[in-house]
Amino acid sequence: MTSTILPNYFLNLSTTVASALQEDVGAGDLTAQLIASNTQANAKIVCREAAIICGRPWFEEVFRQIDASIQIDWHITEGQAVAANQLICTLQGSARAILTAERTALNFLQTLSATATVTAQYVAQLKNTHTQLLDTRKTLPGLRLAQKYAVKCGGGCNHRMGLYDAILIKENHIMAAGGIAQAVNLAKTLHPGVSIEVETENLAEVKQALMAGANIIMLDNFSYEQMHAAVMLVSGQAKLEVSGNVEIDQLAHLAKTGVDFISSGALTKHIKAIDLSMRFEML
């Protein structure tokens, strides 16, 4: 279930960066004031582990907002796989500015690279299958577009961007609306042409969602046997998505059931920041 609206991943980039800098720098970097204002420096960013590098636009924007004269020379491309201890980029300019921007810039780069790296690892498990890997809305607050972008860099696909671009009818929606059929029918009436997905917990609900005309049916925490049965029951009349506690070592097995999508919140919330470091050299 990819979003029906093509996202502009960089829509709020400058605002996001400004907010992050306000959080860290505030009224000014007190420690940087210990360095003479005319001091120039070089710096190297090194990746300490194998990773997919992602987040250059956010990294660059941090330095632009601190001091646009800082020169950044990239040694890798966005979305490139790198080895441990590989040089990522070099910087040259005001020592004060480089040190002030360092942590915020690295925070963006290490976090987005983490999502891209995990996504690439998951996607590799689905090689030679028709099943696509989807992200979720379980993103870090304020980094929705950035992390969705990182998923794309890692080879995954985006689920809906938010509550505004597609309909996902879950258990509580079904209960409040009076049933699956009622919820789907109302969704079609209110938002014609918008993709409608229904979360189901058993085969009876799968049948109800199919009869109601759902475009996508989510199989939430189904067993492998139930997934096979759902694929047979739906028989291509709707797309099927598997969700719920999906682990990387399950992916190939899940894909063999014939489902169209596997979604995982782990891509954006169960991540460990990539180990990046800055080496500083005075001129």
Catalytic sites, residue numbers: 103, 138, 170, 199, 220
**In 3D, which of 14, 66, 19 has the Cα closest to residue 43?**
66
The Cβ of residue 151 has, within 10 Å, a number of other Cβ atoms equal to 29
Q: How far is CA 266 from CA 111, 134, 153, in A?
A: 13, 11, 16
**Cβ(88)–Cβ(276) under 8 Å?**
yes
Q: How far is CA 13 from CA 16, 108, 141, 143, in A?
A: 5, 11, 14, 9
Question: Position of tokens 């829509």?
Answer: 11
**Cβ(128)–Cβ(82) under 8 Å?**
no
CA 250 to chain centre: 20
Between CA 81 and CA 176 the distance in angstroms is 47
Between CA 11 and CA 175 the distance in angstroms is 36
Do strands 261-263 and 132-134 pair parallel, antiparallel, or not at all (unpaired)? parallel
Between CA 66 and CA 20 the distance in angstroms is 12
**In 3D, which of 71, 52, 49 has the Cα closest to residue 120?**
52
**Cβ(228)–Cβ(257) under 8 Å?**
yes
